[in-house]
Structure 1
Amino acid sequence: MGKMLVYHGSYVEIRQPEIRKGRNTKDFGNGFYCTVIKEQAQRWAKRYRSSVVNVYSALIDEDLRILEFASMTEEWLDFIIACRYGEYHDYDIVIGAMADDQVYNYISDYMEGVITRKQFWALARFKYPTHQINFCTERALQCLRFEYSEEVIK
């Protein structure tokens, strides 16, 4: 992986990213979530009264433990379910599709036994592309360099 720009949607400028352990479980566990899709970060930011997209250059250290899902696969789904159940993983960075609000609902329905795995894939297959990079460790955060932030106009 070469140098790339990544975006983080927030309500404030974040010059020094940090890993915050939240009450809610997320797709790839605790960490600092970014995306290479600027429009997606803008959507994340628009959830807040004050909307800011932070832009970072990222140079990924190949010595880190990296898990990348090239697409929404059975392994991707199982990993998300494990993380949402609060299971720990030891990856520094996890990259893959995001379970947006609609896909999140499908995952919840699957986890609760409301729909089958086959039904999950039939529903999830037609969603627009998403992307997320979770910087899970302090060492992974060292790959990020703050470039600038910009306010998102609603």
Structure 2
Amino acid sequence: MKLYHSSNVSVIKPDIIYSRDYLDFGKGFYLTSIHEQAVRYGQRFIRRQREAWLNAYEFEFNSSEWKILELDSYDKDWLDFVASCRAGNDVSDFDLVIGGIANDKVIQTLDRYFDGELSEDKALGLLKYERPNIQYCIRSQKMLDDCLKHIESRQL
């Protein structure tokens, strides 16, 4: 499958070591299958007077060889996992996590939940109406090296 990653640099050989901590699915290399979403994300760099690059990859893997977590909706499992990762409390060893992106609307609900303004039930009630835009977070260097092949990088 073809996946995209936006950055302020061309990323030919992704490396987990450069990933930030405390993101939705923890430390990893984040990608999307939605071209338009990757381009929109890249616009953030341009608005900050920085270069923006759209990197494209081919991602092929055998699911039986890897430890994978799929979170298909904004439900309790998704909310608990994101809360754990963003707090730096994730101790799981998944190679790949697939699930919804915390977009602008979702992030507002998450922030209110993390701040204690919303209960878990209220947050889940608001999130159930949102349709997830799926992101892929490759969390192991071995999976990056074995399964993700760079196709091209182009400046936006």
TM-score computed with the length of structure 1 as normaliser: 0.88
Report matched runs for 1:1-154 at 5 Å: 4-19=1-16, 20-22=18-20, 24-48=21-45, 49-62=50-63, 63-87=65-89, 88-127=91-130, 129-142=132-145, 143-152=147-156
What's the CA shift for 1:44? 1.5
What's the CA shift for 1:112? 1.9
Q: Distance in 1 between matches of 2:153 and 2:131?
A: 26
Aligned residues between the structures: 148
Residue deviations 1:89-143, cap 9 Å, x none? 2000000001123312211211221012232133333445411100101111021
Runs of 4 or more above 2 Å deviation: 121-129
What's the CA shift for 1:61? 3.2
Higher helix share: 2
- RMSD (Å), alpha carbons: 1.5
Residue deviations 1:47-101, cap 9 Å, x none? 1121211000000232010111122221011100111110222000000001123
User: How many percent of aligned residue pairs carry the same amino acid?
Assistant: 34
Q: Distance in 2 between matches of 1:72 and 1:80?
A: 10
Q: Distance in 1 between matches of 2:104 and 2:94?
A: 24
Q: Distance in 1 between matches of 2:2 and 2:93?
A: 25
Stretches of structure 2 lacking an aligned partner (at least 5 in a row): none
Q: Secondary structure at the match of 1:146?
A: strand
Q: Secondary structure at the match of 1:8?
A: strand
C-alpha spacing 1:46/1:81, structure 2 compared with 1 (3 Å): same
TM-score computed with the length of structure 2 as normaliser: 0.87
